[in-house]
Structure formats: structure tokens, C-alpha cells
Amino acid sequence: MATSSPFPPLPPHPPQPGGPAEGGVLRHAHWWQHKWVRYGALITLLALSGLVILALVREQTGTEGFLVGLGLAVLPVPLLVAAFRWLDRVEPGPWRNLVFTFAWGACAAALIAIVANSFAVRWIATATADPAHADTLGATVIAPVVEESAKAAAVLLVFLFRRRDFTGIVDGVVIAGITATGFAFTENILYLGNAFGTDQLTGDGGIASVTVATFFVRVVMSPFAHPLFTVLTGLGFGIAALSGERQRVRRVVLPLCGLLLAMLMHALWNASATFGEWGFFAVYGAIMVPAFGVLTWLVVWTRQRELGTVRDELPAYTAAGWIGPAEPYALGSMRARRMARQYARRHLGRPAARAVAQYEAYATSLAFLRHRGRQGRGGADFVVRERELLNELWRRREVARPALEHASRLAAPAPLPVYGVYGTHRGYGYPMGAAHPQSGYYGYPGHTGYGSPRPQAAYTPYASPYPQTPYPQTPHAQAPYTQAPYAQPHQP
């Protein structure tokens, strides 16, 4: 009886170098469809926005205030960027996405916010003849709507045009957080520069100055405020990314709900200054800090689930011979990944460490792709994308496999399961390298969705671009291979 599976059989081996791309269709591209044209237009737009926002902020703060604000506002940026990059370590997104979103937040979103907020406040002040009321309304209603919408535009652009890099909750959180970090950077320059200008006029200085008070509130107490607001939008997009292609209503409603929550929390934060002498501290302690803690827990929990997905999905490729037996565990442990990169760097240098890091990233993307395919969200290009990722792994296997095996032996708290030998999908009794006599799928007999015909020995693999100096073989490294379960098949 045939076993149904959501996946086609795995490809037996990489295509020959220099061959045509699978599934490729040659067609003439118009000039505006070229990548360099789109990149050039985007860079030009962001550069012009940056120049305009620079002129506006300098005009409001003065040259000296601008420099002071710039020096103080840059302090939390590396810490926030490092925190979001740490969250993204399981499947690191490309740097170009982070650079784009930070630049969008610091330049385009900040410019939109300054222009739109100023116009709205002036219009309300003129219509009501009450400038004080206009300022309050602008801070509590207009600013949250304008600013969160401007920041959400960057998340939307990455979601639409970099869909391959936007696959889940962590991606949404990271993209939204980096965008908000850029926006807060520019806004802090403006606030700190104006505070410094006020101190210059009043002659205040030291701890009692407005500059110190502003720095303490915006940089010390609440550097995560803007990222926290926009992360709610990122959560909406991240959950939408987990939805199927046919769940169109969900893919539209969830980002809008996240954006609405971001606006509401932003409005509450801005309105805290009007709640009395202790209103700010009440909102900060009762809402902001708990919300920050809950979101941090959610993202870390999601990160651990991603590592579990890697450990669950990669054994299929172990059974087919694409990756080594110990690699699913090593790739599902951040500690083992770090040890593998350190081992490669110590013995073969930085190029080998980069190769191992790339191998880890491609293997993680492969596991997530298969997980989406299992849930019916693989997309029309599932087979092509799977082959691309497998090819990238195959090119780096000679450098990455020894490092990952070494790391798995050091990091494993107990003897590792050898996938394909102790396999749970009717693979009992068939060690790695032995094809099932009936199905022909090695390691997973009778389960065509998880195995693949044994790789043929006649093909020519890619030539590795990395140095082929062998790793030193120590007794510690060789010992596990002389003992069960590595040497002996499972005996029921």
C-alpha cells in the first residue's frame, strides 16, 4: 500500500556544475525590472530623505544642539541592533534588509512623521484657535497614527518584496524592531538637541538640566519604547507569514490588527504625560515593562521552537544522504553551532568559519522550507528552492561536516540518535548507506516523502572553493565512531 506524502522524493544528487537552472524560463526583462535599477531608485529615495531630515533637524536644534543630540542618540543603537540580531541568529536574515529598514526608519519614516505631524498640528491649531489643545491632540492621536503607519511601511515592503526572507514571527519582530530603532535614533536627535538648546538659553547645566532629564527618560528608561510599539505590527505580519496562501483574509487582517495595537500603545505612552504627576511612571511600570517582558518571552520561545523545527525536519535529508547523522542535533543547538564555527576558524581560518556559518544558515532555511511544505505552505517553487538549498549545502559539506560532527560530540549531553538507523518512519534495522530492497529509499523504507534514492557514485560534485586542509584527528574526536550506536545497526 503506497504511503501518501506532501513532498516529492528528494533529489538524488546535485546537478552538474554549469548546467541550466532548473525550471528556469528565459525572457527579456525591461530596464525598470533590473535589480540595479530598483536598488538605485531606493537608495536615491532614502538618501534624499536623509538629506531633508538632516536639514530639518539641524534647523530646529542648531548645529551645536544637533551634534550633541547625535552623540547622545547613537548610544542605544548598537545595543538594540545587537539584541535583534541575537534573536535572528537561528536563521539570520540578510544584512541588506536590516540596512534598508534602519535607513527607512531613520530617514523616510522620520521625514513623513515630522512633515505630517507639523502640518496636522498647525491645521488643528488654526481651526480651533487653541494651540495647547492642538499640541495635546497631535501627541496623543495624530503622532501615533502617522508614525506607526510610516514605520509599518518598511515591514510591508520587506513582506511583499523579500518574501523568501520573511517566514515567521521572529522575522517580523526583527524587521519591525530595526525599523523602529532607526526612527527612534532620529527622533532622539531632535529631542536631545532641543533640550540642549533650552539649557543654553536658561543657563542650566549638570544633573538638573533638561538635557540630562531627556536623556534619562528616552535613552536610559525607555530605549525600547518605539521598538516595542512597532514590534506589535511585526507580530501581525509574522503570523500572517505563517498563514497559507489561500488564507487571504487572515493575511490582511492580522497585520492591520498588529498596526492598530501599535497605535493604541503608542497613544497611551504619549498620553501618560497628561495623567498627572505620576502618570508616566504608572504607565511605564504597569503597562510598558510587563508588555516588554511578555514580548521578549514570546520571541525567545519562538526562537526555541525554530531550533526544534530544525531538529525535527533535517533527519529526512540525513536519511537521503545529504547531511551527516549528527548534524540535525548540532544545527538545532546554538551552542553547538558556535562551537562548530570556532573549530573551523581555529583549524582552517576565517574563510572556513564563514563557510560553516553559511552552511548553518542554509540548513536552517531548508528545515523551515520543509516545515512549511508539511503544512501546505511550501509554495509553487518548493522543489526549485529545495534544490537550491541542497546545492549550497553540498558545496560546503567538506568544511562544515567535520566541524559540526565535532561540535555535536562535545555539546551532546547523551549519545546522539543516528537518524536513518534508529529512524521512526519504518527505518528500523536498515543502517545508513543500505537501501531497502523493496522501496529503494535508504534509511526510510516505504516512506517516499522522507527518503530519496541513494546518491549515485558516478556524478561529479562541486569543487569546494575552500581550503582542503584536513582537520586534526584526535583520539577524543575518533572515539565515538568506534562505539555504538555509530558502528552497529539497531538490534530490536
pLDDT at 381: 79
pLDDT at 8: 56
3-state secondary structure the chain: CCCCCCCCCCCCCCCCCCCCCCCCCCCCCCHHHCHHHHHHHHHHHHHHHHHHHHHHHHHHHHHHHHHHHHHHHCCHHHHHHHHHHHHCCCCCCCHHHHHHHHHHHHHHHHHHHHHHHHHHHHHHHHHHCCHHHHHHHHHHHHHHHHHHHHHHHHHHHHHHHCHHHCCCHHHHHHHHHHHHHHHHHHHHHHHHHHHHHHHHHHCCCHHHCHHHHHHHHHHHHCCCHHHHHHHHHHHHHHHHHCCCCCCHHHHHHHHHHHHHHHHHHHHHHHHHHHCCCCHHHHHHHHHHHHHHHHHHHHHHHHHHHHHHHHHHHCHHHHHCCCCCCCHHHHHCCHHHHHHHHHHHHHHHCHHHHHHHHHHHHHHHHHHHHHHHHHCCCCCCCHHHHHHHHHHHHHHCHHHHHHHHHHHHHHHCCCCCCCCCCCCCCCCCCCCCCCCCCCCCECCCCCCCCCCCECCCCCCCCCCCCCCCCCCCCCHHHHHHHHCCCCCCCCCC
pTM, rounded to two decimals = 0.76
Decide: 14 and 462 in contact? Cβ < 8 Å. Answer: yes
Q: How confident is the model at residue 149 (pLDDT cuts 50, 70, 90)?
A: very high
Kindly report, residue by residue over 464-488, the tens digit of the pLDDT.
444 444 444 444 333 333 333 333 3
Q: Which three cell numbers stand for residue 483?
A: 562505539
Residue 68 has pLDDT above 90, yes or no: yes
pLDDT at 478: 36
pLDDT at 5: 54
Tell me which residue of 307, 305, 316 sits closest to 386, measured CA to CA: 316
Q: How confident is the model at residue 209 (pLDDT cuts 50, 70, 90)?
A: confident
Strand partners, 453: 441
Residue 286 has pLDDT above 80, yes or no: yes
User: Rg of the Cα trace of the chain?
Assistant: 27
Percent of the chain whose pLDDT exceeds 70 = 76
Span 27-39, average pLDDT:
62
Decide: 101 and 182 in contact? Cβ < 8 Å. Answer: yes
pLDDT at 430: 33
Span 434-449, average pLDDT:
35
* Low-confidence winner among 153-157, 275-279, 280-284, 296-300 (lowest mean pLDDT): 275-279
Mean pLDDT of the chain: 78
Tell me which residue of 369, 249, 353 sits closest to 309, measured CA to CA: 369
- Residues near 114 by beta carbon (within 8 Å), at least 6 away in sequence: 53, 56, 190
Decide: 229 and 262 in contact? Cβ < 8 Å. Answer: yes
Residue 9 has pLDDT above 50, yes or no: yes
Kindly report, residue by residue over 180-196, the tens digit of the pLDDT.
999 999 999 999 999 99
* Low-confidence winner among 132-146, 209-223, 370-384 (lowest mean pLDDT): 370-384
Decide: 155 and 175 in contact? Cβ < 8 Å. Answer: yes
Q: How confident is the model at residue 88 (pLDDT cuts 50, 70, 90)?
A: confident
Q: How confident is the model at residue 439 (pLDDT cuts 50, 70, 90)?
A: very low
The span from the CA of 489 to the CA of 325, in Å, is 13
* Low-confidence winner among 53-62, 246-255, 419-428 (lowest mean pLDDT): 419-428
Tell me which residue of 319, 388, 320, 400 sits closest to 359, measured CA to CA: 400
Kindly report, residue by residue over 155-184, the tens digit of the pLDDT.
999 999 888 888 889 999 999 999 999 999
Tell me which residue of 97, 94, 100 sits closest to 41, measured CA to CA: 100
pLDDT at 131: 82
- Residues near 202 by beta carbon (within 8 Å), at least 6 away in sequence: 210
Span 252-269, average pLDDT:
94
Residue 26 has pLDDT above 70, yes or no: no
Q: How far is CA 438 from CA 202, 435, 441, 453, in A?
A: 89, 9, 8, 12
Q: How far is CA 77 from CA 110, 150, 188, 448, in A?
A: 16, 20, 11, 50
* Low-confidence winner among 88-92, 287-291, 402-406 (lowest mean pLDDT): 88-92
- Per-range mean pLDDT, top range of 204-208, 323-327, 340-344, 380-384: 340-344
The span from the CA of 259 to the CA of 255, in Å, is 6
The span from the CA of 94 to the CA of 257, in Å, is 27
Chain centroid, CA 219 distance in Å: 25
Span 131-148, average pLDDT:
90
Percent of the chain whose pLDDT exceeds 90 = 40
